[in-house]
Amino acid sequence: MDPFDLTGKTAVVTGSSKGIGRSIAEQLAQRGAQVVISSRKEGACAEVAEAIRKTGGKAIPIPCHVGRREDIKALVAETHKQFGLIDVLVCNAATNPYYGPLLAAGDDVYHKTIDTNVQGTLWFCAEVVPDMKARGGGAIILVSSVGSLKASNNLGLYAISKAAMNQIARSLAGELGPLNIRVNAILPGLIKTDFARALWEDPERARRVTEGFPLRRMGEPDDIGPAAVFLASAAGKYMTGQTLIIDGGGVITN
C-alpha cells in the first residue's frame, strides 16, 4: 500500500486560492483526497477547484473568512453535504496587517492578527474535530512560519500569532492523540507568494536574504505542498505535535 495515498479522504485547506495553500490543495488532490478550496473570494476558489477537476482531481470551492465562526460553521456544513465528514484540516490562511515595532502596534491590528491567526485556528479545529472523532482519526496541519522562532524588528506581532500556532499544535496533539488525531505545524521560510512580496520583490533585498541560506534560494509554494501530503497521510502516522521547518536551511545559518 502506498503510505502517501489519500484516496477516500476529505480535506479542507483554508487560504487555498493561491500560494502555499493552493499547492497544498493540489498535492492532496493529486494523492486522491477530495479537497475543499477556500478563501474569502468565491471566484478565486472556483477557478482553483476547476483547475484541479480538469486534471482528474476532486475539488469544490467554499468561501470562508477564517476570522468568522459563522463562516467556518457554514463551510463545515456544506462540506458534509457535498463530501461527508472531514479527515484532514489544513489551517493555512493568515493575516499580517501590521509592519512595525511590537510595542507600537495598536489594539486594532493586535485583535485582527490574533483573531484571524489564533482564534480562527482554534475555531476551525473545534468545528472539525468531531468529524475526525467519528472517523476514528484525522490529521490537522497548521501553517505557521519560521518567524515564530526568531526575533524580528517589524514582524513581532505576526510572530506572536505564529508562535501561538506552534503551541496549539503541541497542546492539541497531547489532547487529541488518544483519538488518533494528529496535529502538526509546518514552518515555511521565505516563500515566493503575494504574502511575502515585500521581502522578495526587490532583487537586491532578496539576494541579501537568501545568500546565507544553504540552498541559496527562496522557496516556491511547491516546496511546501508535498510536506502536507506526508503529514496528512499514513506516511506521517507516528508524527504529532511537531513543528516541521522547511526553509532552505535558513534557521540553521542566520
Catalytic residue positions, numbered: 158
196 binds ligand NAP (CB under 6 A): yes
Query: Do the beta carbons of residue 23 and residue 224 sit within 8 Å?
Result: yes
Residue closer to ligand NAP by CB (options 173, 190) is 190
**Cell reading at 220:** 516556491
Q: Which of residues 125-154 bind ligand NAP (CB under 6 A)?
A: 143, 145
CB atoms within 10 A of CB 125: 21
243 binds ligand NAP (CB under 6 A): no
- Nearest residue to ligand NAP by CB is 19
List C-alpha distances in Å: 139 to 40, 151, 179, 181, 182.
Answer: 23, 30, 11, 6, 5
244 binds ligand NAP (CB under 6 A): no
69 binds ligand NAP (CB under 6 A): no
Query: Do the beta carbons of residue 178 and residue 132 sit within 8 Å?
Result: no
65 binds ligand NAP (CB under 6 A): yes
Residue 98 three-state SS: coil
The minimum distance between CB 1 and ligand NAP, in angstroms, equals 31
Q: How far apart are CA 65 and CA 45, in angstroms?
A: 12
> Residues near 207 by Cβ (< 8 Å), separated by ≥ 6?
none
Q: How far apart are CA 209 and CA 144, in angstroms?
A: 19
217 binds ligand NAP (CB under 6 A): no
The minimum distance between CB 21 and ligand NAP, in angstroms, equals 5
Query: Site size for ligand NAP, by CB under 6 A?
Result: 30
Residues that bind ligand NAP (CB under 6 A): 14-21, 39-41, 44, 64-67, 92-95, 116, 143, 145, 188, 190-191, 193-196
